[in-house]
Amino acid sequence: MSQEIQRHITGIYNELDQYHDNKGLTEICYWHSYKNFKHNEAFQVAFLQVERQIKSVTKDLAQLSESIDDFEIYINQCKRLILLEKEKDRNFAEVYNKYHAKSNEVADEGKM
Question: Nearest 5°: phi and psi at 38?
Answer: -60, -35
**What angle do helix axes 41-88 and 90-111 make, rounded to 10 degrees?**
130
What was the pLDDT predicted at 18?
Answer: 78
Question: Nearest 5°: phi and psi at 89?
Answer: -120, 115
Q: pTM here?
A: 0.64
Q: pLDDT tens digits for 3-44? A: 889 899 999 988 888 777 776 788 888 888 888 888 899 999
